[in-house]
Structure 1
């Protein structure tokens, strides 16, 4: 791999975007350019392959180069010169346009990306200043994209050339660079995505395939248990989105999707284990993704139980068919003892049942192929897809036929293979993959991280580290990020970062956004203060003027209030006078009425005694009046003896209601209403009156 691979990837991606009718046509321009360089000297496929790798950093197997040259001959761009060598045709030399014409443009683009990596390495301190030149930076980016284009697949394909392996520090540097671009520089990140697309296209070619147009209708893809959990969202939204993109690609290309029955049981057992940890309150390991997801989501054991009960229906809704593993072991059986040994060496299983599940899955895929190896994806018939890197390595080491297509693939590898076949089905997949690869490259190796957490636990037990700090290191994503940053991505340097120091780094990292917010608020407040300073003098003048205005208004208001109080006093005095007058008038009327009633009563009472004969000669009405009057006198006399009191006392109870009625009528005529004068003014007394 050399620096010019970025140029080759860019040109390859441009060819791919132009919609060439055949996959190999994307590499046609490279082959014709290699022949043009030596024209009129014939160029053999071996020389063509070598020139393409030297100039564009793209490795094309000799057999594939021969197929590409023959296709160029059929298109009239090359002529065969004997012994399998080729020269350019006359029409190509006269009218053809060499891909080298765009070489300088792509070189400038490559240099810009390489320079950005150098600047980032210097600014971040991940590489000593001045130690990384442009050629080395371009080579790092090319190697990074190449190694992650189709991870593990070329190791599993017979004769494939393995990519350059970056050391942990280099991988971490480029991962951080890509992640930074993803977060803050869309233009740079889009350039990196285009490089990744070209790397993927070139990686597929190294598998020695001749076409990617064959149908996948005969292919069945079996999902591993963690991927089933991803699909249902129990590992978080990010994992669900990536797995569903893969599912959509597979189904869009006609492939069938399924899961073995034992894999479904395994997935449910994983959820059940997470449920048990929630129920018992055990410490949740941060590597137990499902348990961490449920815990952080605030879910209860009953919520997990519902997820388990719905598992089958939700898989069916996604179009994933549950199938039993085949029983044709003796006819097409794989050496399961070898397979189990290989897997056990590669993976440390806490649960022995998980080992059995993986052996059953890989062996079942081999048996479903019925002894037909199939050297391409469409001819493989079945494939097991997983997110377990070590399982893929162990499974493919156990194949009986070296030419057999891999039994297992990483989900990212399969997604890339499917995307090359039909990029329009998942246009955002390369960008998601680049971002996910960068994020993964910034995480510590799981085994080394577990060792580090074991040291954290020992310190906690000895009391050298508080429980809160230990929890922070175990569960905070910042702890991984800070450890990798402090160790420059080198696992061997983890021991040089004591947990106590890491705690401080994590706290500092968590506090940094808050400090930035405080700074922003302070800057905003200062800006407001600066803006207000210029208007203080004017505001003071306005305040002085306003104070003078307020003084004048206050004086006017005080005068108005004094006048109002005077008016209110006069009004109240007038009301009191009217109320007292009403009382006197009622009192006077009641006294007169009492005297009149008393005189009449006395007269009526004495009249029958003084002149009894006269009463007999009076007309009937008058006689009745005299009789009634006499009876009234007798009744009043009896009431005063029985009930007590006097007629004067009885009438005095009517004084205030009558006075209020009279007072109200007089106020109505004056347009006034009754106020508090009725309550605060004493009732007028009745003058002496005759008692009955």
Structure 2
């Protein structure tokens, strides 16, 4: 294990990277500057060496950068102020690490206290384990970081199970293996693997804040490795239609749901590959390997004989295994759309037998520790198939142009395949070492490919790293058959067959098996005579808690059903009430609307009536004015008749008096003047006697005038018109006197 001396700073850097990548507009490569800044602290003032720089990054952050990828980052490191140019001769530039390290400009929302809380919680989680509780805090922190960043490399995932055969009776003898120093070291590693995995699974449900932090670290680790390794331009939204992904057998079984711990992750990985536009396929020999593992697991479940199925971690139920038996290729094609292709004909030994021999020897050396001979044969066949298919005539540095990629969860197999490809290129082609080192690999791990797809999609947040982390943790803590068998055999020796059968019954339940794994931290060597009482107590307690939890769940289910029934009745009554209220509101609204309508109609009628009344009043007023005008005209004529007639009478009497006086013989002139004056004075009042006839004459003129204009007008006679004074109260006061001439 690579020991990280500063796990807290590394976790903070990963959290900062995750936050920077979540911001829009941030360059993907620029986001790695905080990592390179941290790694540069130990190299200040030294000449830049790609291998030293890659080693510094690996020691601090747990991911390695290939030498050529590190060389490709020099210009960006220079722009960031981490490198200085020593000399530049056109074809080669010499850099050295800057003496002054620039401050990180980003503000990390994740504080050191939050990281410390997670690390302290894990340290407290490990206290109850006797094998690792003596380790120093720094070592436990480093172990936690290493497993968090490399969950797929935990030893517990590849641990070969010991004997799973159970004793048939108390008299059955079993040979105990002598413990070695290596076993003690491996035991510590296994305990740390189990504790880390179980801790991460626990905080997923119990501490969401801590789980969000480790999720950011998992995502940032995948992103950092992808950014550092894949230097090709990210063609955003350009599908990988020309690329075919060949699946290894374990990944195929994951996607089929055979390994329940990886089922969800397998489905998500398959969807990611298809969404990228790449074609998904599998070789015939991988299908045969998967079918062999399924058949072996079925045989084991039916007969109790150990099989090679444990290598693939098969954990599915028998019904699913039976449905897939001898039908893996068919189900993969029909259900998942994965093409099944025939293995290519391998005849590379005819082209260059020496290089083929070197590659075969290298693979045998690398696979020497693999105990399963059939598995090694299938893996070698996968490597030779990819070597046969890939074109080595023209350099191909881009993964998207390589046409074929082998995808595996086995990082060791990926390294073996790529090492074989590099050796083949160096031994059979005349390309330069630079081109060979830049060549696209023939195999990628699932983590690498997910990171590659992430870089091509523009750096959007991916859920693949978290799903992969949880899948590996679930596989690490799954119940193991050898642990169960060791506990069963030890109970037979100590307490007899009956007690062992009781324990076996408890272990059939998943909660009991989980409790057994928790008690021994996944290590069968921890099942000892001294610890067996504690182990049994934990299993029974878990089973009792499970039974109590089951009873609580059933009670809660009944309560929930009744609550649902009550709630349904309440909802029904409430609905009826709402409907009644709604109907009442609708009726009330209808009545109010009718009232408003009637009010508006009444106002409209009142307005129309007012208009009609105003029109009628105006008409009546006009008619009255017309009649008054006619009457006023008649009255004016009557007044004129009255005045003329009166003047006529006066003149006649005056002339008559003058004529009589003129006949006087004594003094005719004086008599004439005097008679005239007296006659004028006397007869000025004479018309008063004739006022009645004058009024009647004037009234007759008035009536004739009115009748001539409108005979329907009734002229009022009370009060009678005063023709003498030119007054008549019948006429409106607004009318001026009809005759302005002065009265004699």
TM norm structure 2: 0.53
Structural RMSD (CA): 5.2
SS state at 1:258 partner = strand
Distance in 1, Cα, partners of 2:378 & 2:20: 44
Match of 1:383 among 390, 401, 405: 405
Q: State the partner residue of 2:343.
A: 325
Match of 1:184 among 206, 225, 231: 206
Cα gap change, 1:417 to 1:128, in 2 (>3 Å): same
Cα gap change, 1:311 to 1:22, in 2 (>3 Å): same
Match of 2:485 among 453, 459, 462: 453
Q: State the partner residue of 2:466.
A: 431
Asked if 1:116 corresponds to 2:121, the answer is yes
Distance in 2, Cα, partners of 1:35 & 1:483: 46
Cα gap change, 1:125 to 1:346, in 2 (>3 Å): closer
1:258, distance to aligned residue in structure 2 (A): 0.7
Kindly report which structure 2 residues correspond to 1:525-604, keeping only aligned pairs within 5 A, or say none: none
Asked if the contact 1:385–1:411 (Cα under 8 Å) also holds between the matched residues in 2, the reply is yes
Asked if 1:228 corresponds to 2:260, the answer is no
Kindly report which structure 2 residues correspond to 1:147-546, keeping only aligned pairs within 5 A, or say none: 147-148=150-151, 167-204=189-226, 208-211=229-232, 213=234, 216-236=240-260, 238-271=261-294, 281-283=302-304, 293-295=316-318, 297=319, 304=323, 308=326, 311-312=329-330, 314-316=332-334, 318-330=336-348, 331=351, 334-335=356-357, 338=361, 341-342=364-365, 345-349=368-372, 356-371=377-392, 377-378=399-400, 381-387=403-409, 400-401=423-424, 408-422=443-457, 427-443=462-478, 450=482, 453=485, 456=488, 464-466=496-498, 468-469=501-502, 471-472=504-505, 475-478=508-511, 481-488=514-521, 492-495=525-528, 502-515=535-548
TM norm structure 1: 0.56
Q: State the partner residue of 2:17.
A: 12
Distance in 1, Cα, partners of 2:466 & 2:450: 12
Asked if the contact 1:146–1:203 (Cα under 8 Å) also holds between the matched residues in 2, the reply is no
SS state at 1:440 partner = helix
SS state at 1:71 partner = helix
Describe the superposition over 1:119-165 as per-residue Cα deviations: whole angstroms up to 9, x where unpaired: 4334x5568779654x555433322223337889xxxxxxxxxxxx9
* Greater alpha carbon shift after TM alignment, 320-329 vs 27-36: 27-36
SS state at 2:234 partner = coil
Cα gap change, 1:454 to 1:170, in 2 (>3 Å): closer
- Give 1 or 2 for the bigger CA radius of gyration: 2
Asked if the contact 2:414–2:445 (Cα under 8 Å) also holds between the matched residues in 1, the reply is yes
Cα gap change, 1:74 to 1:149, in 2 (>3 Å): farther
Q: State the partner residue of 1:25.
A: 30
Match of 1:143 among 146, 149, 168: 146
Describe the superposition over 1:92-115 as per-residue Cα deviations: whole angstroms up to 9, x where unpaired: x9xx99316637964333223223
Distance in 2, Cα, partners of 1:169 & 1:28: 35
Distance in 1, Cα, partners of 2:290 & 2:82: 55
Q: State the partner residue of 2:662.
A: none
Distance in 2, Cα, partners of 1:385 & 1:54: 27
Cα gap change, 1:201 to 1:411, in 2 (>3 Å): closer
Describe the superposition over 1:578-600 as per-residue Cα deviations: whole angstroms up to 9, x where unpaired: xxxxxxxxxxxxxxxxxxxxxxx
Kindly report which structure 2 residues correspond to 1:543-692, keeping only aligned pairs within 5 A, or say none: none
1:505, distance to aligned residue in structure 2 (A): 3.3
Asked if the contact 1:30–1:99 (Cα under 8 Å) also holds between the matched residues in 2, the reply is no
1:425, distance to aligned residue in structure 2 (A): 7.6
Describe the superposition over 1:340-385 as per-residue Cα deviations: whole angstroms up to 9, x where unpaired: 7458733333xx6655443322221121124469677446543333
Distance in 1, Cα, partners of 2:345 & 2:58: 48
Asked if the contact 1:221–1:383 (Cα under 8 Å) also holds between the matched residues in 2, the reply is yes
